[in-house]
Amino acid sequence: MKLTVLVDNNTIIDRYFYAEPGVSYFIECDDEKYLFDTGYSDLFLRNATKMGINLLALDGIVISHGHNDHTGGLGELVKLYSEAASEGYGGKKPTIIAHPDAFLERNVDGLDIAPMLSNNQLKRTFSLQLSKEPIWLTPKIVFLGEIERNHSFEIGDPIGKVLRGGTWEDDYVLDDSALAYISDNGLVIITGCSHAGICNIIEYAKKVCNEERIYDVVGGFHLLNPSQRRLGNTVEYFKKCQPHAIHTCHCTDLRSKIGLAKAATVEEVGVGLVLEYK
C-alpha cells in the first residue's frame, strides 16, 4: 500500500506544494486507487497535478467524516469528473464510501461546517455506499464504519449541532471513521480527525481485522489543547500499543506531539510525503 499526502496543514520542507487546514490522501492498494478526504478547497487537485497523479482513475473516494475541512473539495471533484465526461475522456465512475451521517447538515455557533453537496447532488456524478458497518475495499484495506467508543477519557463535548430527522441535536460526530490496512508487520491506521478517539479507533480496527499488532497510525488525532487526563491516558495507551511509528498531523498540537513522543516515534508529516507498506 502506498499513501501520498495531498493535503495537510503543512508541507514537507523543500517540496513546493500547497497546504491548508485539512486532510487528503491518495492511496494505492492491490491495483486500486482511493482518495481519502478532499481537504477544504481545490488544493488536493492542484497538488495532485504537480505530483503527476491522475485523480480521474479513482476506484473510490473515502470520507472520514462530514466536516468541511475534509469534504470541501468534493465540488471540485464533481467538476473534474463532469467536465471529463462532457469532453469524452471520462474514465471510471468511483464510489463514495462514508458513514450515513456524513452528509447531514451541521453548524457550530451558527457557522455551517457541513459538506457543501448533498447525497442527491453527489449521486449525479458518483455512486454512493453509505454504511455504519465495515466495508472491505480490498482484501487488505477496510473502511471501519461507525467506531465503537469504549474509552471514557476520549468522550468529549459535542461539536455544534447536527440536523438528524428534522431535529437539531448535539453533534458527537458519530460518522467519524477511518481506514485500516493489514500490512505484513501489523495494522496501518489512516484517520481524518479521530473525533471518535484515536484509541477507540485503534481498538476497533484491531477487532475488525483480528490483528493486535499496530505498525503505524497516520492522520489527525484530535488532540488540540486536550485535557491532561485525555492526553495522559492517550500517551499511556500508546506505550502499551508500541507502534513502529506514528505520523500524527492536522489536528494534533505541539504539546500533544511532544507527549506522544514519550511513547512512540513521532514522524514528520506534510504535503508531498509518500509512505509505503508491504
Each residue's pLDDT, cut to its tens digit, for the chain (278 residues) gives: 999 999 999 999 888 999 999 999 999 998 999 999 999 999 999 999 999 999 999 999 999 999 999 999 999 999 999 999 888 887 788 999 999 999 999 999 989 999 999 888 999 899 999 999 999 999 999 999 999 999 999 988 999 999 999 999 999 999 999 999 999 999 999 999 999 999 999 999 999 999 999 999 999 999 999 999 999 999 999 999 999 999 999 999 999 999 999 999 999 999 999 999 99
Question: Cα dihedral angle (74, 76, 77, 81), rounded to 10 degrees?
Answer: 140
Q: How many CA atoms lie within 13 A of 220 on its CB side?
A: 28
User: Residue 156: its pLDDT value, please?
Assistant: 85
Question: Pairing mode, if any, of strands 135-138 and 127-130?
Answer: unpaired
Give the closest residue to 6 by CA, choosing from 66, 77, 81, 59: 77
Nearest-10 crossing angle of helices 198-209, 228-241: 30
What is the torsional sign of CA 152, 218, 271, 102? negative
User: Residue 252: its pLDDT value, please?
Assistant: 97
Residue with cell 508529516: 269
Residue 31 phi/psi, 5° resolution? 65, 15
Q: Report how far residue 42's alpha carbon sits from residue 56's, in angstroms, rounded to the nearest whole number.
A: 15
Q: Angle CA(234)–CA(20)–CA(194) in degrees, nearest 5? A: 25
User: Residue 55: its pLDDT value, please?
Assistant: 95
Domains in the chain, please, with CATH? 2-276 (3.60.15.10)
User: Residue 86: its pLDDT value, please?
Assistant: 87
pTM of the model: 0.95
User: Residue 91: its pLDDT value, please?
Assistant: 72
User: Residue 89: its pLDDT value, please?
Assistant: 83
Written as nine digits, the cell of 36 is 481519502
